[in-house]
Amino acid sequence: MSHDSHDHKPKGFVNRWLLTTNHKDIGTLYLIFALAMFIIGGAMAMIIRLELFQPGLQFVEPDFFNQMTTMHALIMVFGAVMPAFVGLANWMIPLMIGAPDMALPRMNNWSFWILPFAFSLLGSTLFMDGGAPAGGWTMYPPLVLQGGHNVAYLVFAVHLMGISSIMGAINVIATIMNMRAPNVGYLNMPLFVWTWLITAFLLIAVMPVLAGAVTMLLTDRYFGTSFFNAAGGGDPVLFQHIFWFFGHPEVYIMILPSFGVVSEIIPTFARKPLFGYVSMVYATAGIAFLSFIVWAHHMFSVGMPLGGELYFMYATMMIAVPTGVKIFNWVATMWKGAMTFETPMLFSLAFVVLFTIGGFSGVMMALAPVDLQYHDTYFIVAHFHYVLVPGAVFAIIAGAYYWLPKWSGHMYSEKLGKIHFWWSTISVNVLFFPQHFLGLAGMPRRIPDYSTQFAEFNMMSSIGGFAFGLAQVFFVYIVIKTVRGGKKAEANAWGDAKGLEWTVPSPAPHHTFEEFGPVDLKKMAHGDVH
Amino acid sequence: MKKAQTKLMWLVTGLLFSSATWAEYGLNLRKGVTDYSQTAYDMHMLAFWICVVIGIIVFGAMLYSIVAHRKSKGVTPEQFSHSTFAEILWTIIPIVILAAMAWPATKALIQMENPTDEAGKPMNMDMTIKVTGYQWKWRYDYMDEGFGFLSTLAKDSNIARQKDSGIKPETVDNYLLDVDKPLVIPVDTNIRFLLTADDVIHAWWVPDFGWKRDAVPGFVNEAWTNVKVPGTYRGQCAELCGKDHGFMPVVVEAVSKEDYAAWVAEQKGGQAEEAVMAEKTWTKEELMTKGEAVYNQQCATCHQADGAGLPPTFPALAGSDFVNGPAADQIGLVLNGKPGTAMAAFGNILSETDIAAAITYTRNSFGNTAGDIVQPTDVKNLK
């Protein structure tokens, strides 16, 4: 074995990146891929907001508009948010539990390299006769089946994304269960690891359900089955039940790791242990459990028996309880701490406030009798963008600023980071807050043109959208600048941050925790030290 | 002078918070014109104010902490990490608040799904209207009266909404929220709606009634309303249903019971006239004129005004072998539709005269040279 290279990085681009089995390099690949998809999906959102800037059709035809809303959602959900969290998991979980790597490194490579193929398949439909899927990311039949041959591409792309996610999830579970340093118990793990463990179980449970649903679409389209065709004895609403049995846990797949990231950052910058660590773990598990039994709250207007509607309303309202516990715990973590406001902390604080606003509209929509008004309007567009953009995406950005010194060995420019924060936070609210008003005033979602009474708020929202889009291009610039150079980061870049990742040098060497042995539990990142 | 100023200030503040101002700028949910829409509005405001109060408490605590407990003030951080009492408290309080919201919500939902009258008996429905969603129009059938019609986006909106039309939407009355023929209903009447669709899923929504309900192909959904105030109420399809999802408005005119009876009589007269028309033999010119109007209203959204279609989803009629082929095949296709595509079965939607005229028009326009004409009786014979 050659020892001339100190950290044993493989030589050459192909060996280093294509054939890599190193959790840090695969984590980097995931993060770069997610960032690229975030920009592409964001560009589609810009087209949407451009067309909606004024009433009347100025730029695109209605069918292309529908392709944009559909592709924007698919790319953001499966291409940006989910891979970004897998990237964070790859980088941080082994470092946080004192493991040398992920448990299944070759599968790790495969699960990443499937993704570019999945999204090439999906993206290629844009250049086909008849265009990309235009039936919404929810893929409701019979509409989606009118999509010509993009149906097959859509289905196979979803299959590939699912395979990738399942493999990633298996890897996370195998790593956490088997690779913890010998003295690290489950209740010693940082909350980010806990939230990912639970997320991984959700992924394994629901991705096959989605795969089944889209396979039925495929056979309905090409092989003459009638799963969702009433004329053949099927039921179009059956698809919605299956889809949302996947779709609701999917929502938590995108938010639980955010909870984990924020639960690492707030204690660091409040200089205080995380409040209620154990209740945080239980609340996460509680939310995950509830996510399986509330799916039909996406379908209150579809026509359900009264008993069904009541049940799904009550179960959905229950989610507010564990979610509330989390928010109160974060506030209690700040309480009587000694706070500083570096960029990761700013994004985390914005996350707590803006995610809570998304939660409020969530509680309102849980009330089935009023959901008959809110459903399928811009009110729900505002709701899920509040939980996904200043929710999930802000948490990812906070995590990126927080761990960038560990990944790159350089400190980002605090000044630029703060500009990025204020620019993003103001514009994201200009973008999404008026959409509440639009929805309440009666504007349906997924329409390319609207009645003139909605003009003012749409224009405001579009202006916010362009500003927010530009802010994220600025973020790409900050990241590239930091990776290329900057102030050298200490091993513990934040002074006295807890967490084993801060015990290894910055940038983290190619191999860490090579010697299997106990770690210093006092350095683990959580509240109740046992 | 100072008093006047204070008065003005109060007035401005009052206006800012009064729901009337909110409504004018389209900020809030509408109270609507039914008991149910009022209930939904009350639920909405209850939930909203509860959220506001919780928001003030939580964000207030956070803000206080951010201001008071910052390192730059020289504070030393406490190291407490849990409090069983606090954690139990902030689990129980939300449960109580949720229960307080669930109670009225349950009552409202029961009234929507299993309505009862003041005496607590199951509510008696006075009339039934069947609503069928098509890509991209609505059909209304008055089940008790035995007639029905299509309701499509109004012509001036439809022209203005085309890309590069050059028409400013502001100049069009009720842009995108107007139809050629609205649904007419009597006020103070319990109306049962049966909702279904013929192609894909649509959702029928009039915000002023307080609910929307999906129209699912192959299934029949049920909902009801009782409108208290005469007027014109506008809504839209609320479920993505293809390219022109944004262009299938719902317009309902609620009129007095007398006006409604007169309107029904008029419709029935029109129906008799229609039957006579279907029996007569039409000239080519008559069919072409009528056909052009029917084609542009019903067919042009997909097959385009110039017959070029939008392939591959919507085939071209111009130069089509099918359109230039035997008339009987084309009549059959228009009557029965093409399953698995967006082509609806127009046999149930349009009159025989309209179908005959539209087919004649397509066979003799866009450079097509079939040359023959189709009479309403030809359509009737193939039905």
Per-residue HEC secondary structure of B4-15 comes to HHHHHHHHHHHH
In A124-163, the residues whose Cβ lies within 8 Å of chain B are: 129-130, 134-136, 140, 142-143, 145-146, 148
Q: Provide the 3-class DSSP secondary structure of residue A115.
A: helix
What are the start-end ranges of the H helices in B161-312? Answer: 257-279, 284-294, 300-303
List of chain B residues whose C-beta atoms are within 8 Å of the C-beta of residue A353: 59, 62
Phi (first) and psi of residue B127, to 5 degrees:
-155, 165
Q: Is A165 annotated in the active site?
A: yes
pLDDT digits (tens, 9 = 90+) for A155-191: 999 999 999 999 999 999 999 999 999 999 999 999 9
CB neighbourhood size of B5 (10 A)? 9
B246 → chain A, closest CA residue: A447
Q: Residue B222: what pLDDT?
A: 94
Q: Which residue has the tokens 């407990």?
A: B69
Two structure tokens written together for B189: 């009447």
List of chain B residues whose C-beta atoms are within 8 Å of the C-beta of residue A328: 58, 86-87, 90
Q: Mark yes or no for CB contact A442/B241 under 8 Å.
A: no
Give A527 to chain B, closest Cα distance, Å: 5
Q: Residue A529: what pLDDT?
A: 52
A372, A443, A445: best to mutate for the B interface, most B CBs within 10 A: A372
CA angle A189, A194, A200 (to 5 degrees): 140
pLDDT digits (tens, 9 = 90+) for A253-291: 999 999 999 999 999 999 999 999 999 999 999 999 999
Q: Read off the pLDDT band of B10 (50, 70, 90).
A: low
Q: What pTM, to 2 d.p., does this model score? A: 0.91
Two structure tokens written together for B181: 């023929």
The per-residue DSSP string of A262-296 comes to HHHHHHHHHTSPPTTHHHHHHHHHHHHHHHTS-GG
Interface check B57 vs A, CB under 8 A: no
Residue tagged active-site, from A23, A24, A298, A383: A298
Residue tagged active-site, from A23, A24, A49, A72: A72
- Measured CA to CA, the distance from residue A221 to residue A148 in angstroms comes to 9
Interface check A238 vs B, CB under 8 A: no
Tally the C-alpha atoms within 13 A of residue A329's C-alpha that lie toward its C-beta.
Answer: 35
Q: Mark yes or no for CB contact A360/B201 under 8 Å.
A: no
Q: Residue A1: what pLDDT?
A: 38
Q: How buried is B56 (Cβ within 10 angstroms: 0-12 exposed, 13-18 middle, 19+ buried)?
A: exposed
Q: Alpha carbon of A12 to those of A480, A509, B81, B291: distances in Å?
A: 21, 18, 48, 70
CB neighbourhood size of A352 (10 A)? 22
Which residue in A136, A309, A375 is closest to B238 by CB distance?
A375
At B291, the amino acid letter reads G
Which residue in A331, A441, A528 is closest to B58 by CB distance?
A331
pLDDT digits (tens, 9 = 90+) for B180-204: 999 999 999 999 999 999 899 999 9
Q: Mark yes or no for CB contact A303/B69 under 8 Å.
A: no
Q: Mark yes or no for CB contact A449/B246 under 8 Å.
A: yes
Q: How buried is B207 (Cβ within 10 angstroms: 0-12 exposed, 13-18 middle, 19+ buried)?
A: buried
Integer-rounded Cα Rg, in Å, for chain A is 23
Is 80 exceeded by the pLDDT of residue B16? no
Q: Residue B24: what pLDDT?
A: 52
List of chain A residues whose C-beta atoms are within 8 Å of the C-beta of residue B242: 66, 134-135, 143, 146
Q: Residue B301: what pLDDT?
A: 81
Q: Is A323 annotated in the active site?
A: yes
Q: Residue A12: what pLDDT?
A: 86
pLDDT digits (tens, 9 = 90+) for B51-108: 999 999 999 999 999 999 999 988 888 888 888 899 999 999 999 999 999 999 999 9
Q: Is A326 annotated in the active site?
A: yes
Is 90 exceeded by the pLDDT of residue B382? no
Q: Residue A98: what pLDDT?
A: 93
In A168-227, the residues whose Cβ lies within 8 Å of chain B are: none
Q: Is A2 annotated in the active site?
A: no
Is 60 exceeded by the pLDDT of residue B23? no
- Measured CA to CA, the distance from residue A255 to residue A249 in angstroms comes to 10
Reduced 3-state DSSP string for B83-105? CHHHHHHHHHHHHHHHHHHHHHH
Q: Residue A117: what pLDDT?
A: 96
CA angle B170, B176, B180 (to 5 degrees): 120
Interface check B173 vs A, CB under 8 A: no
Q: Is A164 annotated in the active site?
A: yes
- Measured CA to CA, the distance from residue A370 to residue A162 in angstroms comes to 34
Integer-rounded Cα Rg, in Å, for chain B is 28
Is 70 exceeded by the pLDDT of residue B15? no
Q: Mark yes or no for CB contact A301/B242 under 8 Å.
A: no
Q: Residue B227: what pLDDT?
A: 96
User: What are the residue ranges in chain A where pLDDT is below 70?
Assistant: 1-7, 527-530
Q: Which residue has the tokens 């040279």?
A: B369
Contact A38, A83 (CB under 8 A): no
Two structure tokens written together for B369: 């040279």
Q: Residue A2: what pLDDT?
A: 41
Contacts of B369 (CB under 8 A, 6+ apart): B324
Nearest-CA neighbor of A301 among B211, B96, B86?
B211
Q: Is A298 annotated in the active site?
A: yes
In A49-88, the residues whose Cβ lies within 8 Å of chain B are: 55-63, 66
Contacts of A62 (CB under 8 A, 6+ apart): A448, A449, B243, B244, B245, B246, B247
CB neighbourhood size of A222 (10 A)? 13
Reduced 3-state DSSP string for B254-293? EECHHHHHHHHHHHHHHHHHHHHHHHCCCCHHHHHHHHHH
Give A79 to chain B, closest Cα distance, Å: 23
Interface check A442 vs B, CB under 8 A: yes
Give A135 to chain B, closest Cα distance, Å: 7
Rounded to an integer, the average pLDDT of B150-172 is: 91
Contact A134, A67 (CB under 8 A): yes
List of chain A residues whose C-beta atoms are within 8 Å of the C-beta of residue B302: none
Q: How far apart, in Å, do the first and last CA atoms of chain A sit?
A: 42
The per-residue DSSP string of A484-529 comes to H--SBPPSSTTSS--SGGGGS-SSPPSS---S-----GGGSS-SS-
Quote the percentage of chain A above a pLDDT of 90. Answer: 91
CA torsion sign, A483 to A487 to A489 to A493? negative
B161 → chain A, closest CA residue: A56
**What is the widest separation between alpha-carbon atoms in chain A?**
72
